[in-house]
Amino acid sequence: MEINRNFDNLVPNYLFADVARKTNEYAAAHPEKEIIRLGIGDVTLPLSSVVVDAMQKGCEDLRYQESFKGYPEYEGYDFVRQAAADYYKSFGVSVSPDEIFISDGAKSDCGNIGDIFSRDNTVLIPDPVYPVYVDANIMAGRKIVYAASSAENHFLAMPDKHIHADIIYLCSPNNPTGAAYNAEQLKEWVSYALENDAVILYDAAYEAFIQDDLPRSIFSIDGARECAIELCSLSKTAGFTGVRCGYTVIPKELKRNGHSLHDLWYRRQATKFNGVSWAVQCGAAAVFSPEGQRQCLDNIHYYRQNARILSELLDSLGFYYTGGKNSPYIWLQCPNHMDSWTFFDFLLDKAAVVGTPGSGFGECGQGYFRMTSFNSHEKTLEAAQRIKTLFS
Ligand code: PLP
């Protein structure tokens, strides 16, 4: 017996543990200081009432013989898939309900989708990025090449025609940089994927934060249906980080080696996944309802205001940053050429404000820092004031 030796190749990532340890040490040494956490990567507002009502009703259904539900469909209930397809339609993208797979979240799908691809494929992953793509592919033993991002390309890596890739992860709006691709840029990625016979895994977990005229879905781009899979989540759209629900879209015409990727994923899910619970799917359908959309957007608006406070702060200080407009994340260049951890220590020590060192998201994140908009208005304002005082 041998364990999966690919795990030996994982780089220990203590980012959030180190952030927590340093913050706790500081709190213990300075009990008089009020620490403000702008590193929060989780939602903080409660679920919308229309969603809770639908989930409660879903639970009630389970109380009675005539409405009881057992195992759900592997791919989700039809009414939820229809509601998700209607949601796509609301921003002008046409996907069929039977191309949508309801899941327990985008993180699982981002990792599990690898099951339908050969381990001999080369994977292209932007740097910096959500670490799950890298670790899942290291575990699978795939060769990874990185697409570097920097201030030069505004943290939006573009394809390099000299590099071949079979699988491409894109994340827009991006975690951690908050940067979002425009249609022209996505067209380049789609052309590159088609030329390389590659498949794009497009993580649109933050699409609901888009305000500018930018694509909410890769499927708004011609040709994407022949080369892309989209992974979505209700976590940040509707506060489902604890409830757990997402959806993955695989167009029927997406084929490789004569096989439908949709059918392979169905087979994979039917083998290893037993679906999302009835009550949660009732809540998910409520998110897509007109009232659900209104209530969820109220919460998103709250976070957007925090992002605006932080963007205005950085504008006033003349710091370079990305994000903040179409994303809950603000990604800033550390001032005075500090590296990411030096700036973390500096900000904690001088302002009692906590963020996330960019170097934890990839080599290209060195010298950058992520702040999030998930704290309260009051605390975000207070943090902005403290940072302003530090640098004015
Ligand atoms: N994709 C990105 C880019 C994320 O930042 C996150 C969560 O932070 C996820 C996916 C995970 O989504 P879920 O909560 O649906 O698993």
Instruction: Encode pLDDT of 336-359 as tens digits.
Output: 999 999 999 999 999 999 999 999
Tokens representing residue 203 in the block: 């993580």
Residue 241 CA, ligand 1 centroid: distance in Å: 8
Q: What is the spatial distance between Cα 74 and Cα 274, in angstroms, rounded to a whole number?
A: 6
SS3 labels along 182-225: CHHHHHHHHHHHHHCCCEEEEECCCHHHCCCCCCCCHHHCCCHH
Residue 86 CA, ligand 1 centroid: distance in Å: 22
Residue 51 CA, ligand 1 centroid: distance in Å: 20
Is residue 106 lining ligand 1, measured as CB closer than 6 Å? yes
Q: Give the count of beta carbons closer than 10 Å to the beta carbon of residue 197.
A: 11
Q: Report the candidate in 247, 256, 253, 252 with the shortest Cα–Cα distance to residue 118.
A: 256
Residue 11: predicted pLDDT: 86
CB 374 within 8 A of CB 300: no
The reported pTM is 0.97
Residue ID of nearest Cα to ligand 1 atom 2:
205
Residue ID of nearest Cα to ligand 1 atom 8:
41
Is residue 331 lining ligand 1, measured as CB closer than 6 Å? no
Per-residue pLDDT at 392 exceeds 90:
no
Residue 255 CA, ligand 1 centroid: distance in Å: 26
Per-residue pLDDT at 326 exceeds 90:
yes
DSSP run (H or E) holding 369: strand 368-372
Residue 233: predicted pLDDT: 98
Please report where in the chains the tokens 């999302």 appear, as a residue: 276
Give the CATH class of 5-47+292-391. Answer: alpha beta
Is residue 147 lining ligand 1, measured as CB closer than 6 Å? no
CB 231 within 8 A of CB 109: yes
Residue 390 CA, ligand 1 centroid: distance in Å: 33
Q: Report the candidate in 250, 184, 246 with the shortest Cα–Cα distance to residue 215.
A: 184
Amino acid sitting at position 10: L
SS3 379: helix
Q: What is the spatial distance between Cα 332 and Cα 353, in angstroms, rounded to a whole number?
A: 15
DSSP letter for 166, please: S
Residue 389: predicted pLDDT: 97
Is residue 177 lining ligand 1, measured as CB closer than 6 Å? no
What lies within 8 Å, CB to CB, of 5 at 6+ separation is none
Q: What is the spatial distance between Cα 100 and Cα 218, in angstroms, rounded to a whole number?
A: 14
Q: Which residues pair with 357 in a beta bridge?
A: 369
Is residue 359 lining ligand 1, measured as CB closer than 6 Å? no
Residue ID of nearest Cα to ligand 1 atom 1:
205
Residue 40: predicted pLDDT: 86
Is residue 185 lining ligand 1, measured as CB closer than 6 Å? no
Q: What is the spatial distance between Cα 79 and Cα 76, in angstroms, rounded to a whole number?
A: 9
Is residue 109 lining ligand 1, measured as CB closer than 6 Å? no
Residue 233 CA, ligand 1 centroid: distance in Å: 7
Better-scored residue on pLDDT, 187 or 15: 187
Longest CA–CA span in the chain (Å) reads 67
DSSP letter for 14, please: -
Q: Supply the angle between the helices 377-391 and 340-351 in degrees, to the nearest 10.
A: 100
The CATH number assigned to the domain with range 49-289 reads 3.40.640.10
Residue 316 CA, ligand 1 centroid: distance in Å: 31
Residue among 134, 175, 209, 233 to mutate when testing ligand 1 (max atoms within 8 A of CB): 233
Residue 132 CA, ligand 1 centroid: distance in Å: 9
Residue ID of nearest Cα to ligand 1 atom 7:
107
Q: What is the spatial distance between Cα 213 and Cα 379, in angstroms, rounded to a whole number?
A: 30
Q: What is the spatial distance between Cα 131 and Cα 139, in angstroms, rounded to a whole number?
A: 12
Residue among 16, 109, 129, 130 to mutate when testing ligand 1 (max atoms within 8 A of CB): 130
Per-residue pLDDT at 64 exceeds 90:
yes
Residue 288 CA, ligand 1 centroid: distance in Å: 19
% the chain with pLDDT above 90: 97
Residue 203: predicted pLDDT: 98
Residue 388 CA, ligand 1 centroid: distance in Å: 31
Residue ID of nearest Cα to ligand 1 atom 12:
106
* pLDDT digit string, tens, across residues 9-47: 998 877 888 999 999 999 999 999 999 999 988 999 999
Residue 358: predicted pLDDT: 97
Q: Report the candidate in 255, 288, 265 with the shortest Cα–Cα distance to residue 90.
A: 288
Residue ID of nearest Cα to ligand 1 atom 15:
105
% the chain with pLDDT above 70: 100
DSSP run (H or E) holding 232: strand 228-233
Is residue 171 lining ligand 1, measured as CB closer than 6 Å? yes
Residue 80 CA, ligand 1 centroid: distance in Å: 20
Residue 12: predicted pLDDT: 83
Q: Give the count of beta carbons closer than 10 Å to the beta carbon of residue 73.
A: 17
Domain positions in the chain: 5-47+292-391, 49-289
